């Protein structure tokens, strides 16, 4: 199979999904209505609730949900062959991820920007909410700790990416000031920001930087992890327009340029895919493709983390409801295109099948490294860029998107800590909640040594936990649709499929952890399994009641006070700062 043919088929399928299916969802299923004020206007505070241009918000949303996962998952999953990974990414993007991401954004906007944890309390019940928060907390802990380890590893292995990685923060601060203070036009800001970012990439390729092997007895990767968490903690407390929005927006443009470079190189070089369509000669110890394929590839097909971003940050910045289609569904499209690019890079970026099999000698061996190496070879062949510069571009791309996901993840973890505190009758300020969120992640990360390897300790549970959260989010969307008398099949079909596959995978993992005597993961797996099953039972009962619901859900939600939603004094003591302040 020629990689160009595969790329064309995949791109057409995914873009057709946006043109056709997302329009159906927006008009017939979710009935997006611009006459309804969004939470960004109702609760505007200049910090978290900020009405935002849909292109800027798309940049934040897309880069927050993308991270390294749509690269890592597909790059690992091609060990079963490129065809299963390709089908799951394309079909999953169109009918699963797009529906889930748009739906969770719509659900939160209709509930004044409440998170999925809060929505589970309203639509499933108090017990369901508490168990839902357990799953959410563990998922965010895995993401924040593991992505810090991944980023630190890339900064150590690719020192040419250090300058563009940290220099991008200065670019983002400048972009935020240019948009909100200086009132520059968005096209001008975009051009200047992208030029500055790629200039940093060129400088980084010429001037690689590396930390000493140890600093005060801490290995270099451990130092990077500490610096990343300090940065993420500070960034999570800043108003979204200062750093989070502009950083994510400019990174979104950078990713699409990087994807353009990769796909352009495929167009020019047209390398053959050396990996088999279906690999019947997998290395010994490789797990069964069913159900593991559907949890190995999460981001890029469907991911519960997306629902957390949609309801945690994006819903609070949506200017009008119709923007949800572009921000939510097209955000999933961007991630699907990234996952497709990862599949091509990890299967066509090798000269021979033997070279590919050498990299994929065991399950999990092929990941970001295979993407960077394979993609770099394709770009060098297609556009003639030096291998070093090509690898720097792709490594910087992976780092920047993992970092933006970590930024958002720490902010979301802060929200969850505050929600848990409110359940326990303790009201936590954002500073205290941020310290707790960062402290727990650092404790996990350095729990196994100064190199920070503990950040990957519970990562084996990420795929199943993430997909369970997607299924639970779909259950909330289905309940909301049933209460409005609309068909819930677009949510129920992905819900049943993802739920069954993920529970199956959880049971398989239980056996693996028992055989290897990994008691920590065994206990956590049981906690997640019990919590998920309990929430599913509660959700089924809520769906039955929703079918007989005779009230007006939107009218009830409209009567909710801002204080009730935001947890603020009933006198409406919220800030009056606008997005320009």
What is the mean pLDDT of the segment spanning 48-71? Answer: 84
* CB contact set of 341 (below 8 Å; sequence gap of 6+): 259, 262, 263, 375
484 within some domain = no
The reported pLDDT for the residue numbered 574 is: 32
Spatial separation of the C-alpha atoms in residues 499 and 533, rounded to whole Å: 10
What interhelical angle do 69-77 and 368-383 show, nearest 10? Answer: 90
Pair of tokens at residue 240: 């979204």
CB 233 within 8 A of CB 463: no
Sequence-separated (6 or more) residues with CB below 8 Å from residue 449: none
Instruction: Classify residue 581: in a domain, yes or no.
Output: no
Q: Which two tokens stand for residue 476?
A: 């909330």
Q: What percent of the chain has pLDDT over 90?
A: 35
Instruction: Choose among 301, 378, 377: nearest CA to 340.
Output: 301
pLDDT at 390: 72
| Residue whose tokens read 């649709």 | 481
pLDDT in tens, 212-253: 888 888 888 889 999 999 999 998 888 888 888 888 888 878
Sign of the dihedral through C-alpha 294, 299, 301, 302:
positive
Bridge pairing between strands 218-219 and 214-215: antiparallel
State phi, psi for 214 to the nearest 5 degrees.
-140, 145
- Both tokens of 296, joined, read 């190995």
Residues 479-519 have pLDDT tens digits of 999 999 999 999 999 999 999 999 999 999 899 899 989 88
Task: Find the farthest-apart pair of alpha carbons in the chain and give their distance in angstroms, rounded.
Answer: 69
Residue 572 is predicted with a pLDDT of: 33
End-to-end CA distance of the chain: 54
Which residue reads 């700062």 in tokens? 577
Q: Between the ranges 120-134, 232-246, 311-325, where is the mean pLDDT highest?
A: 311-325
Strand-pairing partners, residue 318, are: 52
**Among candidates 462, 520, 510, 377, which has minimal Cα distance to 72?**
462
Alpha-carbon distance 496 to 470, whole Å? Answer: 11
Question: Residue 41 domain-assigned?
Answer: yes
Map tokens 């004094």 to a residue: 569
Cα–Cα distance for residue pair 139/142, rounded to 1 Å: 5
Q: Is residue 550 included in any domain, yes or no?
A: no
pLDDT tens digit string along 17-34? 999 999 999 999 999 999
Residue tagged 């929600």 (tokens):
419
What is the arithmetic mean of pLDDT over 294-310? 91
Share of the chain above pLDDT 70, in %: 94
How far out from the chain centre does Cα 384 lie? 32
How many folded domains does the chain comprise?
Answer: 1
- Rounded to the nearest integer, the mean pLDDT of the chain is 86
For residue 60, tell me if it sits in a domain: yes
Residue 405's pLDDT band, with cuts at 50, 70 and 90, is confident
> How much of the chain is helix, strand and coil, in % rounded to 5?
75, 0, 25
Structural domain contains residue 462: no
> Tokens in use for 341?
């690019």
Which among 125, 122, 92, 127 has a CA at the least distance from the CA of 110? 122
User: Using H for helix, E for strand and C for coil, what is the string for 543-561?
Assistant: HHHHHCCCCCHHHHHHCCC
Q: Is residue 265 part of a domain?
A: yes
pLDDT tens profile 435-474? 999 999 999 888 878 877 787 787 788 888 889 889 989 9
- Helix, strand or coil for residue 41? helix
CA angle 264, 392, 195 (to 5 degrees): 70
Q: How many residues does the chain have?
A: 581
> How far is 260 from 281, CA to CA, in rounded Å?
33
As a whole number of angstroms, the distance between CA 202 and CA 175 comes to: 20
Cα 237–chain centre separation: 20
Domain that holds residue 347: 3-287+294-449
Is residue 457 assigned to a domain? no
What values do phi and psi take at 516, rounded to 5?
A: -90, 0
- pTM listed for this prediction: 0.83
Looking at 207-329, list the stretches that DSSP marks H as alpha helix, in order from N- to C-terminal side: 220-237, 244-269, 289-296, 304-312, 323-324
Confidence of residue 366 (pLDDT cuts 50, 70, 90): low
Predicted confidence (pLDDT) per residue in 172-189, tens digit: 899 989 988 888 898 999
Range scoring the smallest mean pLDDT among 81-85, 93-97, 413-417: 413-417
How far, in Å, CA of 232 to CA of 163, rounded? 18
């Amino acid at each position: 199979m020629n990689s160009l043919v595969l790329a064309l088929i995949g791109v057409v399928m995914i873009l057709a999904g946006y043109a056709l299916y997302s329009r159906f969802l927006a008009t017939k299923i979710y009935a997006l209505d611009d006459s309804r004020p969004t939470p960004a206007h109702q609760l505007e505070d200049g910090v978290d609730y900020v009405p935002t241009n849909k292109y800027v918000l798309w940049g934040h949303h897309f880069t927050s949900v993308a991270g390294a996962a749509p690269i890592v998952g597909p790059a690992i999953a091609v060990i079963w062959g490129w065809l299963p990974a390709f089908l799951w990414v394309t079909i999953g993007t169109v009918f699963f991820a797009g529906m889930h991401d748009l739906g969770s954004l719509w659900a939160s906007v209709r509930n004044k920007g409440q998170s999925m944890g809060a929505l589970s309390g309203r639509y499933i019940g108090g017990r369901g909410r508490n168990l839902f928060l357990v799953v959410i907390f563990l998922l965010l802990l895995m993401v924040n700790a593991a992505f810090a380890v991944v980023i630190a590893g890339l900064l150590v292995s690719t020192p040419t990416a250090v300058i563009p990685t940290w220099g991008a923060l200065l670019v983002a601060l400048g972009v935020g000031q240019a948009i909100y203070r200086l009132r520059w036009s968005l096209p001008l800001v975009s051009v200047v920001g992208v030029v500055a970012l790629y200039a940093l990439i060129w400088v980084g390729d010429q001037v690689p930087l590396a930390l000493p092997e140890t600093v005060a007895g801490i290995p270099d990767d451990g130092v990077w992890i500490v610096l990343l968490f300090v940065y993420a903690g500070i960034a999570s407390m800043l108003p979204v327009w200062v750093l989070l929005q502009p950083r994510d927006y400019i990174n979104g443009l950078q990713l699409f340029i990087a994807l353009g470079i990769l796909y352009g190189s495929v167009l020019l070089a047209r390398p053959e895919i050396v990996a088999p369509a279906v690999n019947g000669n997998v290395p010994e110890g490789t797990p069964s493709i069913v159900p593991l394929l559907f949890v190995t590839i999460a981001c890029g097909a469907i991911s519960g983390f997306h629902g957390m971003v949609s309801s945690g940050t994006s819903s609070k910045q949506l200017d009008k409801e119709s923007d949800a289609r572009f921000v939510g569904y097209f955000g999933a499209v961007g991630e699907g295109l990234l996952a497709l690019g990862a599949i091509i890079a990890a299967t066509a970026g090798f000269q021979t099948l033997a070279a590919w099999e050498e990299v994929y000698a065991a399950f999990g061996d092929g990941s970001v490294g295979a993407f960077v190496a394979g993609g770099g070879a394709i770009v060098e062949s297609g556009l003639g860029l030096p291998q070093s510069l090509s690898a720097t571009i792709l490594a910087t791309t992976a780092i920047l998107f993992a970092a933006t996901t970590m930024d958002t993840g720490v902010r979301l973890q802060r929200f969850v800590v505050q929600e848990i505190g409110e359940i326990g009758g303790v009201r936590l300020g954002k500073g205290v909640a941020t310290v707790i969120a960062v402290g727990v992640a650092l404790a996990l990360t350095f729990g196994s040594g100064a190199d920070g390897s503990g950040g990957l300790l519970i990562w084996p549970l990420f795929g199943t936990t993430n997909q369970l959260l997607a299924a639970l989010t779909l259950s909330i969307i289905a309940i909301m649709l049933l209460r409005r008398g609309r068909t819930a099949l677009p949510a129920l079909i992905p819900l049943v499929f993802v739920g069954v596959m993920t529970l199956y995978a959880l049971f398989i993992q239980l056996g693996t952890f028992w055989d290897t005597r990994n008691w920590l993961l065994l206990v956590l797996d049981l906690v997640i399994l019990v919590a998920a099953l309990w929430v599913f039972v509660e959700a089924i009962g809520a769906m039955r009641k929703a079918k007989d619901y005779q009230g007006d859900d939107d009218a009830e939600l409209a009567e909710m006070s801002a204080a009730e939603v935001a947890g603020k004094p009933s006198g409406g003591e919220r800030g009056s700062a606008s997005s320009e302040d």
